[in-house]
Structure 1
Amino acid sequence: MCTAHATTAYKHMGRCRRIIAVSQAVKNHMLARGHADALIDVVHNGMPDVPPAERQARRAELLIPPSHLALVLVGRFVRDKGQDLVLRALGGLPEHVHLYFIGDPQTSFGQEVKALAQTEGLAHRVHFLGYRQDVPRLLCAFDLYVSGSRREALGLSLVEASAAGLPIVATAVGGVPEVVVDQHTGLLVPPDRPDILTQSLAQLIDQPSNRQTLGRQGRQHYLRQFTVEAMLAGTLQTYERARTIPGTRQIP
C-alpha cells in the first residue's frame, strides 16, 4: 500500500499492490508517469467536523470590527501557497475589506509578503495571526475564504473552510476543483492572475446572499465527500482490495 501526495513518494510505488491518491489530479499525474490505472484509488483526505461556533464571539476574539468584511487564507508561508497573489488582489478591493493570514510568517517568503504589504500601502488592511492550532474553531469569524495557490494536491484548508460553511474563491490548480465546485460552492480563477482574483472577490463582496448560498452548498459538499468517515470508508475499501490480491500474505 502507498498513499500518493508528494512527488518524492513515486520512487516507492513500484512495489505497491494498491495506491491511494488524495485527489483525481494526483491520480492523473501518476497515470502520466506510467502507473497502472487499475491500481490507483482516489480517496480524498477527510477533516473532522467542528460544532458551530458563535460568529460574533470569534470576531471579537480576533478583534475584527463589525464594519470589516474579512477574508482569510490559512497556510504555510511558501511561494506555492500564493499569499503574495492574494495580497495584490486586495489592493483592488474596497477599503473596508481586510485580509487575515493564518500561518507562521517567520519564513523568508513570509517576510517578503510582509514587505509587500508595506510597499503596496496595504499594511493597515493585512493582519498576520500567526500559527494557530484552533483554525476550524475560528473560521466562522470570516466572510470569505481565499486561496492563491500555485500548486496543490488537494487543499485541506479548503476542506476546513467548506466544513465551516465559508464561500471560497480559489485558483484552479491540482485537486482544488474537487473541493471547490465552480459557481456552486465558490469561484475558481486561473493561477497567477491577481487581477481576475480581484474581480471574483469583488463579485462576491457585492453579493451577500450569494455568499450565503455558496457557503451552505460548500458545507453540504463537505458532508458528502470530505468527512473523516468518508475517508476511512474509502481507505478500508482499498485495503480490502489489496488483501484479496492473489499472493498477498495475511498477517494474523
Structure 2
Amino acid sequence: MINVLHLIHKYRGDYPLLNQQVNLDPARFRTVVCYLSGEDDGRNSLPAAGIKTLYLGFKPKSLRLHNLSLLWRLKRLMDKNDIHVVNCQQHRTTPLGVIAAGMAGNKPAVVSTLHGLGTASSIRRKLLNWFLYRSLHRVIAISRGVSEDIRRSNWGVSADKVVTVQNGLNYDRFLVPLAREEARRQLLPEMSDGFWFGTVGRLSPVKNHTTMLHAFQRVTHELPNSFLLVVGDGELREELAAQCESLGIARHVRFLGWRQDIPKVLKSLDAFLLPSLREGLPLALLEAMACGLPVVASAVGGIPEVVEDEDFAQLVDPDDSRGMAEAMLRLARLSNRELHMRGEAGRRRALTTFSAERMIAGYEQVYQEAYEDWLRRNPGTTR
C-alpha cells in the first residue's frame, strides 16, 4: 500500500478537481489530504468518500518556512501516517512540503503539482525553485503549456523532471438531459428569448471580463436580442457592473454570482466565452464542452491545447475586443444545426481526452514511480 499525502494551502470549499485527483485505486493507495489553513465547513465531500481529511487551522500569513510549529506538525503527520509520497498542490505549499519531508523519519518522496503559469517570474522565485526542484522527484504540470512554462522559466530543470498530467473531470452531472428552453425557464424566467452567451470564473483582472464586455457591446449593436450571463464573484463585481451601465448594456447582462447549479446555467446558453489573459488548463472550458457548447476563447496558456484543431471553438487575441466580437457574431449567425454539430465535437473531445480516468491513471503512475524511488533510497524496507 502506497501512502500519499496531499498538502493544500487553504480549504476554500468542496473542489471537484481535487476530489477526482485523490480518487485513487484503494487497493494500491491510501490517501490523506491536509489543508494548512481554512476551517471545515461540513461541505467537503472527501471524508464521505473515505479519505482521511485534516485541517491544521494555521492563518494564511503564518504559512512560512520560519514557522517551526507548522513544520513540526507536518513532520509528525508524515511519521504518524507512514507517508511514502507527498504531493504539494501549487507552489506555495512546496517549500513547506520539502522541508517537512526532510525532517520526517520516513523521508518520503515529494512531488509538486502546478496549475498555473508564471511561477518563476522573479529572480527570487527562480532561486527558490532551483533549490526546491533538486529535492523533488517530479514536478507535475496540469497541461503541456504549464510544462513548457516551467522548463522555459526555471534554471536547470531537466527534461525528465517535469511530467504532464492533464486535468480531467467526471462529467456525469453535466450529461443529465435538460433542454435549453427548460433550463432558461428554471434559471431566468423573466428574460426574453434570444442568443445567450455566458462565462464562468472569478471576477478578477486575469479573467479579462472588461475586454469581453467591450466585445459584447459590439455584439448588441448587431444583435439587440442577445444576452450575457456572468457566473462568479470577486473584487471586480461592482466595477464590472458599472462598466455595463457606462457601455449601455446593463439590460443585456446578468451577474449571477457563485452558483451550485453550473450544469443548468451552461445548458441555458447558446455559446460559452473564456476571455482570460492566462490559463493553465481551464476546468470551466471542459465543463462547457461537456454541455455541448461552442466556444469563443483566448489563445493563451493551455486553452489551445484543449481545443487543438477542432472547429467547436474560435480562438482570439484576449486584448482584441473587435476580434472577440466578430467571433461571437459568427457563432450567433450559425444555424441551430451548425451550433449543435460544433458543440457535439467539443463534447466528444472533453469526454475522451480530458476524462477523470485518464487523469487519475497519470497521477497513479507518478506516485508509483515516486514510491519505487523511495524504496531504492530505503533498501531495508519491505513493500
Matched to 1:53, the amino acid is P
Larger Rg: 2
In the aligned structure 2, how far is the partner of 1:185 from the partner of 1:38? 34
1:5 aligned to which of 104, 110, 115: 115
* Matched residue, 1:239: 367
- C-alpha contact 1:181 1:187 (8 A) present in aligned 2: no
Identity of aligned residues (%): 31
- Which secondary structure state, in structure 2, belongs to the residue aligned with residue 129 of structure 1? strand
1:152 aligned to which of 279, 283, 288: 279
How far is 1:180 from its partner? 2.4
* Matched residue, 1:40: 162
Structure number with the bigger relative contact order (C-alpha 8 A, sep ≥ 6) is 1
2:192 maps to 1:101:
no
Residue by residue over 1:76-132, the C-alpha shift from the partner in whole angstroms, topping out at 9 and shown as x without a partner, is 000100111111111111111100000125x2x222111110000000001011111
How far is 1:161 from its partner? 0.6
- C-alpha contact 2:310 2:345 (8 A) present in aligned 1: no
How far is 1:149 from its partner? 0.3
Note the 1:73-88 alignment, pairs <5 A. Answer: 73-88=199-214
Note the 1:175-214 alignment, pairs <5 A. Answer: 175-208=302-335, 209-214=337-342
Matched to 1:16, the amino acid is L
* Matched residue, 2:356: 228
- C-alpha contact 1:182 1:188 (8 A) present in aligned 2: no
How far is 1:66 from its partner? 5.9
Residue by residue over 1:194-235, the C-alpha shift from the partner in whole angstroms, topping out at 9 and shown as x without a partner, is 110001111111113332122101111111121211110111
* Matched residue, 2:176: 52
* Matched residue, 2:268: 141
In the aligned structure 1, how far is the partner of 2:282 from the partner of 2:311? 18
- C-alpha contact 1:164 1:219 (8 A) present in aligned 2: yes
In the aligned structure 1, how far is the partner of 2:169 from the partner of 2:330? 29
* Matched residue, 2:254: 127
In the aligned structure 2, how far is the partner of 1:248 from the partner of 1:240? 14
Range with bigger deviation, 81-90 or 176-185: 176-185
- Which secondary structure state, in structure 1, belongs to the residue aligned with residue 202 of structure 2? coil
- C-alpha contact 1:204 1:210 (8 A) present in aligned 2: no
| Structure 2 stretches lacking a partner, 5+ long | 1-110
In the aligned structure 2, how far is the partner of 1:132 from the partner of 1:41? 33
- Which secondary structure state, in structure 1, belongs to the residue aligned with residue 170 of structure 2? coil
How far is 1:248 from its partner? 4.5
Matched to 1:62, the amino acid is L
Range with bigger deviation, 120-129 or 230-239: 230-239
* Matched residue, 1:72: 198
Matched to 1:29, the amino acid is D
- Which secondary structure state, in structure 1, belongs to the residue aligned with residue 227 of structure 2? strand
| Residues 38/63 of structure 1: CA separation in 2 closer, same or farther (3 Å cut) | same
- Which secondary structure state, in structure 2, belongs to the residue aligned with residue 244 of structure 1? helix
- Which secondary structure state, in structure 2, belongs to the residue aligned with residue 211 of structure 1? helix
| Residues 149/251 of structure 1: CA separation in 2 closer, same or farther (3 Å cut) | farther
Matched to 1:13, the amino acid is Y
In the aligned structure 1, how far is the partner of 2:287 from the partner of 2:226? 22
* Matched residue, 1:30: 150
TM-score computed with the length of structure 1 as normaliser: 0.92
- C-alpha contact 1:53 1:140 (8 A) present in aligned 2: no
TM-score computed with the length of structure 2 as normaliser: 0.62
In the aligned structure 1, how far is the partner of 2:201 from the partner of 2:368? 34
Aligned residues: 250
In the aligned structure 2, how far is the partner of 1:153 from the partner of 1:36? 21
| Structure 1 stretches lacking a partner, 5+ long | none
In the aligned structure 2, how far is the partner of 1:53 from the partner of 1:102? 21
- C-alpha contact 2:144 2:302 (8 A) present in aligned 1: yes
List structure 1 runs of 4+ shifted beyond 6 angstroms: none
In the aligned structure 2, how far is the partner of 1:216 from the partner of 1:78? 30
Matched to 1:234, the amino acid is G
Matched to 2:359, the amino acid is M
In the aligned structure 1, how far is the partner of 2:210 from the partner of 2:270? 20
2:183 maps to 1:63:
no
| Residues 136/41 of structure 1: CA separation in 2 closer, same or farther (3 Å cut) | farther
How far is 1:183 from its partner? 4.7
